[in-house]
Amino acid sequence: EIFASYAFIPEAEVDESSGAAGTEVVGSRPGLTPRHSGTIWTTFKVAPQWRVGGGLNMRSRDTPVGLAAGSQIRAPAFVTADLMAEYVRGSLALKANLTNLTDKHYAETLYRGHYVPGQKRTLEVTVVDTPEQPNTIRIEARGILDLTALLHDDIVDLGREVKVVIN
């Protein structure tokens, strides 16, 4: 399977503006409008129970909203990489997603006075019931500073004790 998207916005300009401080100048390129952005993802079924995949996300350089005419402030272009693996056998399912593989620091959104950083490297792991360790979720994470676990009744029987094991 291959999934791809691409946006090319070669020309964009502000048609009207109030002219108030912090608004964009008529005729200028609107902030938060990169010329190029896109993603490409692929997955492969490497065995009946195994599926692996990876993808790239990119955006060309960008400018903040409401920038003064002639300002040279820009957020640089970036590319991030993601990986995934999935193992399914009967009622057992193991799914792992690694987002921002290289822990690239980039500006997701850019304003005149600050920016919103993009997602840090993130590992998400889901394990569904095993006979040896019923209702147990095992997570191994290295180089991951933050970890969030979301439990759902379709994956884990929340009516019983749930055991979560990390590292």
Span 135-161, average pLDDT = 68
Residue 156 confidence class, pLDDT cut points 50, 70, 90: low
Question: Are residues 30 and 14 in contact, defined by beta-carbon separation less than 8 angstroms?
Answer: yes
- Is 156 exposed, middle or buried, given 0-12, 13-18 or 19+ CB atoms closer than 10 A? buried
Q: In terms of DSSP bridges, do strands 136-139 and 163-166 run parallel, antiparallel, or are they unpaired?
A: parallel
* Rounded (to 5) percent helix, strand, coil in the chain: 0, 45, 55
Q: What is the pLDDT of residue 68?
A: 64
Question: Are residues 35 and 74 in contact, defined by beta-carbon separation less than 8 angstroms?
Answer: no
Residue 77 confidence class, pLDDT cut points 50, 70, 90: very high
Residue 150 has pLDDT above 70, yes or no: no
pLDDT digits (tens, 9 = 90+) for 20-51: 777 788 888 888 889 999 999 999 999 999 99
Report the alpha-carbon distance of residue 108 to residue 75 in Å, rounded. Answer: 9
Residue 154 confidence class, pLDDT cut points 50, 70, 90: low
DSSP states along 33-88: --SEEEEEEEEEEEETTEEEEEEEEEE--B--TTPPTT----BPPEEEEEEEEEEE
Question: Are residues 87 and 93 in contact, defined by beta-carbon separation less than 8 angstroms?
Answer: yes
pLDDT digits (tens, 9 = 90+) for 46-74: 999 999 999 999 999 988 877 766 778 88
- High-pLDDT (> 70) share of the chain, %: 82
Q: 41 is written with which tokens?
A: 């993802």
